[in-house]
Amino acid sequence: MLNSTFTAPDLTTFTGLNELGLTAAGQHLSETKAEILCHVTNPDPWCRTCGEVGVPRDTVIRRLAHQPLGWRPTVLVIKHRRYRCAYCRRVWREDLSQAVAPRQKISRTGLGWALVGLVCQHLSVSRIAEGLGVSWNTANEAVLAEGQRLLIDDPTRFDGVKVIGLFRNESVNRV
């Protein structure tokens, strides 16, 4: 690269948090894992019921497994606010749907890493769980659900396919 342009180091961009709607605020590295403190990049304090602006009530911390960085499991420590509407009294949290599916413990980036590891690199679920720093059951359930969502539930997965069949190699079956 003769005329490459460099920018200042940015943990948010390096770890792919900008694609998840998160911004890195700090990091903690240990021998066993890396933790990245994050917050929601674009908070939305508006009440979905009445449209009034909510009042920050408190902060909730959510921990998500993320794709491994530097040969160690990476954990996103997300601090997100809980709001309360002064008008209708509704309580809600900042939206994390861009970063994680409901009730999941692994970020969308972590799930992408796990699927690539399973399908392309032939990693076992045990190795994926170790890389993410989660239990085997957590990794297996998340990978199966994401594979179902991306592959099996896709109605266009056979678009352009004309024939589905098996190739029989005659030389293998000869004695």
Q: What is the mean pLDDT of residues 62-76?
A: 93
Q: Is residue 174 part of a domain?
A: no
- Which letter, b or e, does each residue of 91-104 get, where b requires 16 or more Cβ atoms within 10 Å of its Cβ? ebebebeebbbeeb
Provide the pLDDT confidence category of residue 153 given band limits of 50, 70 and 90.
confident
Q: Is residue 6 part of a domain?
A: no
Q: Is residue 28 part of a domain?
A: yes
- DSSP string over 10-63: -HHHHTTGGGGTEEEEEEEE-SS-EEEEEEESS---B-TTT-PBEEEEEEEEEE
Instruction: Give the pLDDT confidence score for residue 3 in this predicted structure.
Output: 75
| CA pair distance 108, 115, nearest whole angstrom | 11
Q: Is residue 80 part of a domain?
A: yes
Q: Is residue 66 part of a domain?
A: yes
Residue 172 has pLDDT above 80, yes or no: no
Helical axes 136-147 vs 108-119, angle rounded to 10°: 90
What is the tally of structural domains in the chain?
1
**Domain span including residue 110:** 11-155
pLDDT (tens digit per residue) in 85-123 = 989 999 999 999 999 998 899 999 999 999 999 989 999
Q: Is residue 131 part of a domain?
A: yes
Instruction: Give the pLDDT confidence score for residue 1 in this predicted structure.
Output: 59
Instruction: Give the pLDDT confidence score for residue 42 in this predicted structure.
Output: 92
Q: Is residue 5 part of a domain?
A: no
Q: For the chain, give the percent of residues with pLDDT over 70.
A: 95
Provide the pLDDT confidence category of residue 173 given band limits of 50, 70 and 90.
low
Q: Is residue 87 part of a domain?
A: yes
